């Protein structure tokens, strides 16, 4: 190993939201500290227009910026443009791929995660992770007639909604779409958005109470939609469109055909095999043959027995934490999901090594209303809190787990609806011991409340419901709501009057 070039008081690895927030907070709190940010690319991801919407809800934009912006703002910050190749926790050093060695007193690993791919090194299988891969996707899509999207999380949901002029076959392993974020009821609410956008009279279909989820009807559903001009405000040719929360904005997701969105959903299936047309023709198993062999570059066989030919497959089946460069020779405790285990001070099992964002797994005893999800908001919160913890230790000050980890909250947009998720919004970990209240107005709003022993523990709000603050308060104060019963969701009653 080369000689140590320099030892920094703090070394942060990764120029994503977690790493950049950590660097900014550290450099503001301890302006004379010697801080280094090690990141591979020339750009960093910064949080802009940060807005605290309520006690726990926050909104912000994510922007790609040249890293020089950070160095100008914080004179005692050094940005090192390389990737970490290895870590030696005994000697407190990291080595970069360009062969340099840096010492650290405290290290924070914020190296993020990458998409799990169905097939490694298959040119017809794409994962979307950063701006480059999003552009590659757009380029390939512009020549595509049919694609298969595999996965049921946020990225799959957005893609299915945004792609036009190309047939989409959407394979989900669950019995409803968007299972990561919703139950079957919310999925049914959203599905019409995949069909024609006929102006519908808002007919309230109040469904008072249910405790079991509705099964999806049939094994496959097909939706077609007329092409509606639904491009968002920004100009697709605008330079520097970053992969932020609206990562597809400004990217035209348009296939070769003009016109409709055509989505078929294949429920409750996973990918059995991906193969080329040659492999298909040479296959002795006639059963593999799709109805029309055609001449697709790639074929995908699903566990429901169906085989589809397509131009390419998008793999949106979740992420794997980027831990490899840090593991060799060290003894990190790794969680089941592959993340670096961190305690309630964002500390890993190795001394003076912290981790934040997608790369880590929160292994403290969670608040009953919080769960980890690998999202922008949590990357920011963890990066911020990790820097506070590091500073507190250096200053020998005590620090308590931040309030943001009390209640899970997330604001996003799906199928052009505002979506707010609070607490155990899907009854996560509650078992059968909970009750749901639902109010739904087709094409307008979907409100679901999760109650446990008469107390609100979670909510899903789709549309402009204006209920997020009231519900957040009801969840935080754990008031007994038994007396209110279904009136809680009566649209003719202003519930704020009850509780203020
Ligand atoms: C297509 C897509 C859409 C998404 N949409 C949303 C959304 O709408 N809302 C939402 O909340 N979340 C969304 N997410 C999730 C969100 O992007 C992540 O949760 C968040 O970016 C995690 O931030 P991070 O800082 O932990 O990691 P990242 O943003 O992944 O940053 C990791 C950084 O570490 C660097 N790095 C990695 N390895 C090394 C190494 N060995 N040495 C040095 N540097 C290294 C990388 O270059 C990168 O700069 C989306 C994700 C994807 C892929
Ligand atoms: C940078 O650090 C030095 C000491 O290491 C300190 O004197 C100086 O004020 C710091 N710069 C800023 C802008 O805080």
- The residue whose CA has the least distance to atom 5 of ligand 2 is 32
pLDDT number for residue 484: 85
Least confident of 31-40, 101-110, 198-207, 413-422: 198-207
The Cα diameter of the chain in Å comes to 72
Spatial distance between the Cα atoms of 485 and 449, rounded to a whole number of angstroms = 12
Closest-CA residue, ligand 1 atom 52, reads 129
With 80 as the cut, is the pLDDT of residue 52 above it?
yes
- Predicted confidence at residue 250, as pLDDT, reads 55
Whole-number Å distance, alpha carbon 28 to ligand 2 midpoint, is 11
- Sorted by sequence, the CB contacts under 8 Å of residue 490 that are 6+ apart come out as none
- Would you say 145 and 256 are in contact if contact means Cβ atoms under 8 Å apart? yes
CA pair distance 392, 394, nearest whole angstrom = 5
pTM reported for the whole predicted model:
0.86
Q: Is 31 in the pocket of ligand 2 (CB under 6 A)?
A: yes
Note the pLDDT of residue 259.
63
Q: What is the mean pLDDT of residues 269-282?
A: 83
Of ligand 1's atoms, which has the minimum distance to the CA of residue 113? Answer: 30
**What separation in Å is there between the alpha carbon of 30 and the centre of ligand 2?**
9
- What is the position in ligand 2's atom list of the atom closest to the CA of 31? 14
Q: Is 29 in the pocket of ligand 2 (CB under 6 A)?
A: no
73 C-alpha to ligand 2 centroid (Å): 12
Determine the pLDDT at residue 431: 78
Chain centroid, CA 452 distance in Å: 27
> Hey, is 482 helix, strand or coil?
helix
Residue 332 has pLDDT above 80, yes or no: yes
Question: Residue range 384-408: average pLDDT?
Answer: 97
Give 309's strand partners. Answer: 299
Q: Is 103 in the pocket of ligand 1 (CB under 6 A)?
A: no
Residues 6 or more apart whose Cβ sits within 8 Å of residue 462: 186, 189, 190, 414, 417, 418, 419, 445, 446, 447
- Atom from ligand 2 closest to the CA of residue 74: 13
pLDDT digits (tens, 9 = 90+) for 145-164: 999 999 988 888 888 888 88
Give nearest CA residue, ligand 1 atom 38: 111
Which residues 6+ apart lie within 8 Å of 44 measured at CB? Answer: 15, 16, 19, 20, 37, 64, 65, 66, 67, 69, 70
Q: What is the length of the chain?
A: 500
Is residue 203's pLDDT more than 70? no
What is the chain's mean pLDDT, rounded?
Answer: 84
Residue 371 has what pLDDT?
96
Over residues 75-104, mean pLDDT: 97
CATH for 416-498 is 3.30.390.30
Ligand 2 site, residue 76, Cβ cutoff 6 A: yes
Nearest-ligand number for the alpha carbon of 71: 2
CA of 20 to the centre of ligand 2 (A): 20
| Confidence (pLDDT) at 218 | 35
Q: Which CATH superfamily is domain 6-112+322-405 in?
A: FAD/NAD(P)-binding domain (3.50.50.60)
Mean local confidence (pLDDT), 282-296: 63
285: pLDDT confidence band, cut at 50, 70 and 90?
Answer: low
Q: Supply the DSSP symbol for 483.
A: G
Return the top range by mean pLDDT from 49-58, 260-269, 426-435: 49-58
Our answer on whether the CB atom of 248 is closer than 6 Å to any ligand 1 atom is no
pLDDT band, residue 207 (cuts 50/70/90): very low
pLDDT of residue 412: 87
Please check the confidence at residue 246 and state whether its pLDDT lies above 80. no
**Per the structure block, which two tokens stand in for 38?**
């090690």
Q: Whose CA is nearest to atom 14 of ligand 2?
A: 31
**pLDDT for res 193:** 82
Q: Which has more pLDDT, 288 or 202? A: 288
Distance 16 CA to ligand 1 centre (A): 6
Top mutation candidate among 76, 78, 105, 394 for ligand 2, by most atoms within 8 Å of CB? 76
What per-residue confidence (pLDDT) applies to 276? Answer: 82
- The verdict on the CB of residue 153 being under 6 Å from ligand 1 is no
Same fold, 6-112+322-405 and 416-498: no
Fold classification of 116-196+239-318 is: FAD/NAD(P)-binding domain (3.50.50)
Taking the CA of residue 357 as reference, the ligand 1 atom at the shortest distance is: 26
Higher pLDDT, 497 or 297: 297
pLDDT recorded at residue 102: 98
Report, as an integer, the average pLDDT of 454-479. Answer: 94
Look at residue 262 and tell me whether its pLDDT is greater than 80.
Answer: yes
Tell me the CA distances in angstroms from 426 to 75, 211, 415, 423, 445, one per residue in order. Answer: 46, 12, 19, 8, 17
Ligand 1 site-directed mutation target among 375, 382, 404, most atoms within 8 Å of CB:
375
Asked if the model's pLDDT at residue 44 lies above 80, the reply is yes
Residue minimizing CA distance to atom 41 of ligand 1 = 84
Residue 353: which H helix or E strand, with range?
Answer: strand 353-355
Which helix H or strand E contains 140, and what residues bound it? helix 131-141
How many angstroms separate the CA atoms of 41 and 23, rounded? 16
Q: Which two tokens stand for residue 422?
A: 């609070």
* Average pLDDT of span 436-440: 90
Tell the residue nearest (CA) to atom 10 of ligand 2: 32
Residue 483 predicted with pLDDT over 70: yes
Q: Which of 145-154, 207-216, 266-275 has the lowest mean pLDDT?
A: 207-216
Q: Is 376 in the pocket of ligand 1 (CB under 6 A)?
A: yes
- Cβ of 412 below 6 Å from ligand 1: yes
75 lines ligand 2 (CB under 6 A): yes
Domain positions in the chain? 6-112+322-405, 116-196+239-318, 416-498
């Amino acid at each position: 190993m080369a000689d140590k070039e320099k030892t920094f008081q703090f070394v942060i690895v990764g120029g994503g939201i977690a790493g950049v927030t950590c660097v900014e907070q550290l450099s503001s709190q301890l302006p004379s500290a010697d801080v280094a940010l090690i990141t591979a690319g020339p750009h960093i991801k910064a949080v802009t227009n940060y807005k605290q919407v309520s006690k726990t809800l926050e909104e912000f934009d994510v922007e790609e910026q040249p890293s020089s912006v950070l160095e100008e703002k914080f004179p005692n910050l050094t940005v090192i443009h390389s990737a970490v190749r290895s870590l030696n926790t005994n000697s407190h050093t990291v080595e970069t791929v360009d062969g340099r060695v840096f010492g650290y007193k405290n290290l924070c690993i914020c190296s993020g995660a990458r998409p799990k791919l169905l097939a490694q090194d298959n040119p017809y299988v794409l994962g979307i992770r950063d701006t480059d891969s999003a552009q590659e996707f757009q380029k390939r899509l512009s020549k595509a007639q049919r694609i298969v999207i595999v996965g049921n999380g946020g990225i799959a949901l957005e893609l299915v909604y945004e792609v036009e002029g190309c047939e989409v076959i959407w394979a989900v392993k669950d019995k409803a779409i968007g299972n990561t974020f919703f139950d079957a009821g919310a999925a049914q609410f959203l599905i019409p958005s995949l069909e024609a956008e006929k102006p519908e009279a808002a007919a309230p279909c109040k469904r008072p109470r249910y405790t079991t989820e509705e099964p999806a009807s049939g094994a496959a559903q097909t939706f077609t939609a007329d092409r509606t001009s639904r491009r968002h405000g920004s100009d697709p040719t605008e330079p520097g469109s970053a992969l932020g929360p609206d990562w597809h904005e400004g990217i035209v997701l348009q296939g070769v055909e003009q016109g409709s969105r055509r989505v078929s959903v294949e429920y409750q299936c996973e990918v059995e095999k991906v193969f080329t047309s040659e492999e298909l023709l040479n296959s002795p198993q006639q059963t593999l043959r799709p109805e029309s062999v055609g001449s697709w570059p790639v074929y995908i066989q699903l566990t429901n027995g169906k085989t589809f030919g397509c131009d390419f497959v998008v793999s949106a089946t979740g992420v794997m934490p980027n831990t490899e460069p840090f593991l060799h020779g060290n003894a990190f405790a790794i969680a089941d999901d592959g993340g670096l285990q961190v305690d309630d001070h964002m500390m890993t099992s190795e001394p003076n090594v912290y981790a934040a964002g997608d790369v880590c797994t929160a292994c403290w005893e969670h608040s009953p209303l919080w769960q980890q999800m690998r999202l922008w908001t949590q990357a920011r919160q963890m990066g911020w809190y990790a820097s506070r913890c590091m500073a507190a230790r250096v200053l020998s000050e005590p620090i308590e787990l931040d309030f943001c980890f009390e209640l899970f909250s997330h604001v996003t947009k799906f199928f052009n609806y505002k979506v707010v998720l609070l607490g155990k919004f899907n009854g996560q970990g509650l078992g059968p011991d909970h009750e749901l209240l639902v109010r739904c107005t087709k094409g307008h709003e979907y409100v679901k409340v999760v109650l446990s022993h008469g107390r609100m523990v979670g909510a899903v709000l789709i549309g402009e419901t204006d209920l997020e603050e009231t519900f957040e308060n009801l969840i935080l104060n754990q008031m007994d709501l038994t007396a209110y019963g279904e009136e809680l969701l009566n649209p003719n009653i202003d519930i704020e009057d009850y509780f203020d």
